[in-house]
Copies of this chain bind each other. A is one copy, B any other.
Amino acid sequence: MGELVTAHGVVATPVFLPVGSKGTVKTLTPHELREVGVQMVLANVYHLYLRPGIDAIEWAGGLHKFMAWDGPILTDSGGYQVFSLARLCRVDDSGVTFRSHIDGSEHRFTPETVIELQQRMGADIIMPLDHCPASFATRENIVDAVQRTYRWAQDCRASHKKSGQMLFGIVQGGVYPELRQRAARDIVSLDFDGYAIGGLSLGEPKVAMWSMVAVTVPLLPEGKPRYLMGVGSPEDVVEGVSQGIDMFDSALPTRVARNGALFTLDGRQNITKSSFKDCTLPVDPECDCYTCRTFSAAYLHHLFRCDELLAYRLATIHNLRFMMRLMQRIREAIESGVFDDFKRDFLARYKVTNEEMRIAQKRKWLGLAHNHESDTG
C-alpha cells in the first residue's frame, strides 16, 4: 500500500479510476463519486478535444471546475482513441492525422499538442501521445509503434512544462515479451513521474496479458506508480495488484452496470433475470452502497425491465462502490501483510465470467466502439 500525492489531494494506492471520458462518469454526479469512495477519475483528451473543445474547458477554469470534481484527475492522451475510434487515421513520425468519429472533420495530434492540450485542461496526471496498434497488428507494426511511441515520449517529456502536473510514460509492445522489455527500458530511461502499461486488455487472452505485465513490471522503478491501463474487472484488479500494479482504470464496472450486470463477492449477477422479480433483498446484502441500502433487487429488476434511466444510475453506484471497497480491502490486506490470503479467498469465491464469452463480448464491444461513441477507457 502506498500514496500518490497530487495537486488535488493524496491518493491511497492501489487505486481504481472510474472512466469519465467526456468529463462525466456516466450517470453520476461528483457528489456521488465522493460518496462511493472514488479517489481519482480518468478523462480523455480525444473526447474532450472534439467536444466541448479545450477552449471551453479552459474558459471554465480548467477540467476540475468544468466537471465540478475537486479531486485528482488523470487525462489520457487520446492515443488509444485516435487509433481505435477515429476514422481514416494516418500516422507519421511527428504525429497522427485523423477524422472525428462525430462529424468527420480532420484533426492532427502531435506529442507537443497533446501535452499542451492537457496542460490547458489542468489534470493532475497526464499521459504522452502513444501509438497503440490494433490487437490484430503484425509484429512489424508493433515494432514500428514501439519505436514511434519512444520518440513521441521524448518529445512529450521535452515539451512538458507545467509544475504540479505529473507526466507518466507508456510502455507498448503488443504481446511480444522482448518488445515490452525494450519499450520498458527506453521509457524508463526518460525518467517519468510514473509508468503505464498500455495496449493490453484489447481482446487478447488473459494469459497473454498477464505474461506481458509480468515481463514489464520488474523493469519499472519501485518508487514510482505503475499503472495498468484499461483494466479491469474485479478479478483482474486483484491479479494486477499481486503483480505489482498500483493504478487501474476501466469503463467495465460502469458499462456492465448499465447492462444490468452487478458485482457481488460471488461474481456478476444479471439483475434482469426473472429470479430477481420477487426478491425483496438488496442485490448484494453485503453491500453498503445507497442502492443496496435503499432498494430491493425486485425494484432494480423492474427498473431495468422498463429501461428506466434510474436503473443505470443505481447499478453504476453499486458497481463503483463494489470496486472501491475491493480496493480498500486490498490496501488493508497489503498493510496487514495478508494480501496473498486475501487474493486466494477472493478468487476462490468470485465466479469469473467464462473466458471465451468474455473475449467474444470484448471483441464485439471493441467493434461497436469503432462505429459508435463509447466510453472505452
A contact set with B: CB distance below 8 Å: 22-24, 26-31, 51-52, 55-56, 59-61, 66-68, 277-278, 280, 290, 294-296, 298-299, 301-303, 305-306, 308-310, 312-314, 373
Q: How far is the CA of A326 from the CA of B305 in the complex (A)?
A: 34
The answer to whether B60 touches A310, judged by C-beta atoms less than 8 angstroms apart, is: no
> Given A24-B308, A51-B302, A68-B295, are A56 and B313 neighbors across the interface (CB < 8 Å)?
no
Contact A302 B56 (CB under 8 A): yes
A298 vs B296: C-alpha distance in the bound complex, in angstroms? 37
- Inside 8 A of A30's CB, which chain B residues have their CB? 294
Is A26 a contact of B295 with CB atoms below 8 Å? Answer: no
For A56, list chain B residues within 8 Å (CB): 277-278, 298, 302
Cα distance A67–B30 in the bound complex, in angstroms: 24
- Closest-CB distance, A371 to chain B (whole angstroms): 15
CB of A125 to closest CB in B, whole Å: 22
- List the 4 closest A-B pairs by CB distance, nearest first: A52-B302, A27-B309, A24-B310, A68-B294
A67 cross-chain contacts in B, Cβ below 8 A: 299
Taking a contact as CB atoms under 8 Å apart, the answer to whether B22 and A280 are in contact is: no
Q: Which residues of the partner chain B approach A290 to less than 8 Å between Cβ atoms?
A: 29, 31
Complex CA distance for A278 and B52, rounded to whole angstroms? 9
Closest partner residue, chain B, to A26 (CB atom)? B309
Contact status A28-B310, CB under 8 Å:
yes
Contact B27 A278 (CB under 8 A): no
Residues of B within 8 A of A31 (CB): 290, 294
A107 CB, min distance to chain B CBs, angstroms: 17
Q: Contacts A22-B306, A309-B313 known; A60 to B27 CB distance under 8 Å?
A: no
Cβ-defined partner of A26 (8 Å) among B59, B305, B310: B310
Provide 24 A-B residue pairs closer than 8 Å at the C-beta atoms, listed in order of the A residue: A22-B302, A22-B306, A22-B308, A24-B303, A26-B308, A26-B309, A27-B309, A27-B310, A28-B310, A29-B294, A29-B314, A31-B290, A52-B298, A55-B278, A56-B277, A56-B298, A56-B302, A59-B280, A59-B298, A60-B280, A60-B299, A66-B302, A68-B295, A309-B312
